[in-house]
Structure 1
Amino acid sequence: MNLRFTKMHGLGNDFMVIDGINQPLPETGLPLPAAEIRRLGNRHFGVGFDQMLIVQPAQGPEADFRYRILNADGSEVSQCGNGARCFARFVRDAGLTDKQEIVVETAAGQMTLTVTGDEQVTVDMGAPRWAPADIPMTAKAEADSYIVVSGHQAWEVGAVGLGNPHCTLLVENVDQAPVETVGPLLESHEQFPERVNVGFMQVVSRSEIRLRVYERGAGETLACGSGACAAVVIGQRRGLLDSQVTVHLPGGPLQISYDGEGGIRMTGPASRVYDGSINVTPAE
């Protein structure tokens, strides 16, 4: 099977975007076997990506499209902020819509994507979910922070659900943060039954932070939109941040806005890299 795709990125968080409307894909299950997704995600032997994004027809009348996200390890997740911005630009570039406000279905619910005149995209990420069962994580009660223990090590983290689970640690300097060692330990910690995205946040001022994120199923990425939103609302809950925050990620800045009501709004760029096609083994 020959599969057409577009390579895109949001601040270096990169994606293989597949049009499932103009080319046939299975309507149920993964469009490709997990082993094939891992092959395509390999940066030496495949296309190379953090996530694969699937554009599909909406299942209900209130949305324009359905949006699915597959990690480079073949697992499926419910939310990806940088991917959502790329999704919005892709469907416009591909002529699938000319709308500037696009409603998409995700496994976490409906999401609204707004494309501005300068091709920046604002994503309404929905309201943060603080109850442990909604993150999900195991904890006796909801709290501003939690102590997570592994062996002889312990970390204080904030945790929030944004359609996918996030925990964030405060660090003095993100350049020296133990992302490569602590990231995978927390990602697969038993307190997070669906694994977790791990953020390392340095507060620069009340309106500015630096952030690195170790994403479940992908490892450290150059940018994580939902991770940026999670870090901001966790910092706000601790009284460290204002309602408008610039988040500096390794791939570049995102603007995050949240005043405690409604959804978190994230604004940033989405870039097209190239179009291609590749032979794949479809799911049975």
Structure 2
Amino acid sequence: MDNYQKRIKMAKKAIAKAEYILIGAGAGLSAAAGITYSGNRFTEHFKPFIEKYGFTDLYSSSFYPFDTEEEKWAYWAKHISLNRYEIGATKIYEDLVQLIQDKKYFVISTNVESQFEKAGFPSENVFQIQGDYGYLQCEKGCHDKLYDNESLVTDMIEKTSDCKIPSNLVPRCPVCGGTMDVNLRKNGYFVQDESWYESDNRYKAFLQESIGKRIVYMEFGVGFNTPGIIRYPFERMTYHNEMATLIRLNRDHPEGFEETQDKTIAFTEEMQEVVTSFMQ
């Protein structure tokens, strides 16, 4: 039996014995699902923007300082639509819900495409801590309400011309009259509405309930952009619970704390292959 098969066997045993499963998901999981921010997917869908602005990928282009709101929203409408509305549930997310559905589980994710809910995870079991492409907020966070953007995004895309939307489609804050933004944690104005705090409380309650219990922390594609949200807490909780196991799927950064190495099962192999193996 090779090393990969040994790790698969160990992981499957840990999952089978677990009372609780906590999934932590980062950008690597969505990339494994095909929601990539560069390469052919980017160049095929954003050719006019690439030609006009010299964009190289969807991540860096998200910080581009557009001259006008009309240009900004032409870009963001396409960005949101491609990653939030034009793609349905993907296989790896659907497999994950099947894998852990008989356990007490919770999900904390820095991803913003709502793939977990699309795949069938109940919304009360998912905490999208960094926001959701499906909502707009006041750019300056003057109030804590979020606004569904699907119909507006559709209108923007239909009426985009020369990488601009008509001025009458530019969203304005209904409270202060200022500009709007996508509900993403990218600055100090990120809006945490009532639903966000409810999810935060449910996450904290899950952590409290699972203290000292047999639990598996399953970490998918979490890098070092925001390690304090998932990666480091998972390491600490694994260290402090003698019955915990950390299963880490990470192509580029499988390494962890030295103190938890004997309780960590790491995979650098392709994520879909690993998840499929867990289910066999």
Q: Quick check: TM above 0.5?
A: no
More helix by share: 2
* Higher RCO (CA-CA < 8 Å; seq separation 6+): 2
Which is higher, the Rg of structure 1 or of structure 2? 2
More strand by share: 1
For normalisation by structure 2, the TM-score amounts to 0.23
